[in-house]
């Protein structure tokens, strides 16, 4: 009996081995069906990140009327800037406007597209024409620190055509009621200034072209030239 059992078990082992070696395709097919690497992926369910978009269009907060209007005296305030010798200086509204015809224009931010490509370059280009019409001071104001304004000036190769002034804490911007809240934007601009251009004579506002938010429609150098 023992011999018979051993022979039967040996016969079964040989039979199984023969079966595996004779039909390798079955094992391969089974392996393929069980392999995770061969399972199809549903690529349609992959999520691609969307690019961030920034718009300088006005928000509900930016449509509030400014405290400043034509006929008002410009409030006193102090700005900072770097002079030609790279020395940090300060200047007041009175220094810039007393007994003078002055043009102030404000931008929401240095290095931002519209400000860098259109608004500031336009006043640089038309500075000679403005001065020929009696303008003594042309100043660009932004709620940026003086170091950023200096870097922006150098980046755009601005010389003495336009004075780039830092209203770093936004004191002047708040005093004239031109704050622009951009804190909800993904780039984190915080509270800046609405875009505008104004003409003042001896500190009194004669023309005020105040945009809605960061729009750029009637605050260009050409618009100021039209009223001179």
Statement: residue 186 has pLDDT above 80: no
Domains assigned to the chain: 78-226 (3.40.30.10)
- Lookup: tokens for 23: 């039909």
Q: Give residue-wise pLDDT tens across range 109-164.
A: 999 999 999 999 999 999 999 999 999 999 999 999 999 999 999 999 999 999 99
Q: Is 193 helix (H, G, I), strand (E, B) or coil?
A: strand
4 versus 223: which is more confidently predicted? 223
Task: Give the pLDDT score at 58.
Answer: 40
162 versus 20: which is more confidently predicted? 162
- What is the C-alpha separation between 126 and 123, in angstroms, rounded? 5
- The answer to whether residues 105 and 219 touch, using CB atoms and an 8 Å cutoff, is yes
Q: Annotated catalytic sites, by residue?
A: 115
215 versus 58: which is more confidently predicted? 215
The DSSP annotation for 98-155 comes to TTSEEEEEE-S-TT-HHIIIIIHHHHHHTHHHHHHTT--EEEEEESS-HHHHHHHHHH
Q: Give the single-character DSSP code of 49.
A: P
- The answer to whether residues 81 and 149 touch, using CB atoms and an 8 Å cutoff, is yes
Q: Give residue-wise pLDDT tens across range 46-104.
A: 333 333 333 444 433 334 467 899 999 999 999 999 999 999 999 999 999 999 999 99
Determine the average pLDDT of the residues in 169-182: 96
Task: Give the pLDDT score at 188.
Answer: 80
Lowest-pLDDT choice from 78-82, 131-135, 211-215, 217-221 = 211-215
Task: Give the pLDDT score at 65.
Answer: 64
């Amino acid at each position: 009996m023992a011999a018979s059992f051993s022979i039967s078990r040996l016969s079964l082992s040989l039979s199984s081995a023969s079966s595996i070696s004779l039909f390798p395709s079955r094992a391969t097919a089974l392996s393929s069906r069980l392999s995770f690497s061969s399972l199809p992926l549903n690529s349609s369910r992959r999520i691609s990140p969307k690019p961030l978009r920034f718009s300088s269009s006005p928000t509900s907060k930016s449509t509030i009327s400014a405290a400043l209007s034509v006929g008002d005296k410009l409030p006193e305030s102090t700005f900072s800037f770097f002079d030609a010798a790279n020395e940090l200086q300060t200047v007041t509204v009175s220094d810039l406007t007393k007994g003078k015809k002055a043009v102030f224009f404000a931008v929401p931010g240095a290095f931002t597209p519209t400000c860098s490509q259109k608004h500031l370059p336009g006043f640089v280009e038309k500075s000679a024409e403005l001065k020929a019409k009696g303008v003594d001071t042309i100043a660009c104001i932004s709620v940026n620190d003086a170091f950023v304004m200096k870097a922006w000036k150098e980046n755009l190769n601005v010389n003495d055509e336009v004075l780039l002034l830092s209203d770093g804490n936004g004191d002047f911007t708040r005093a004239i009621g031109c704050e622009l809240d951009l804190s909800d934007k993904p780039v984190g601009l915080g509270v800046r200034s609405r875009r505008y251009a104004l003409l003042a004579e001896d500190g009194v506002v004669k023309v005020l072209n105040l945009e809605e938010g960061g729009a750029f429609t009637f605050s260009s150098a050409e618009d100021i030239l039209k009223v001179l």
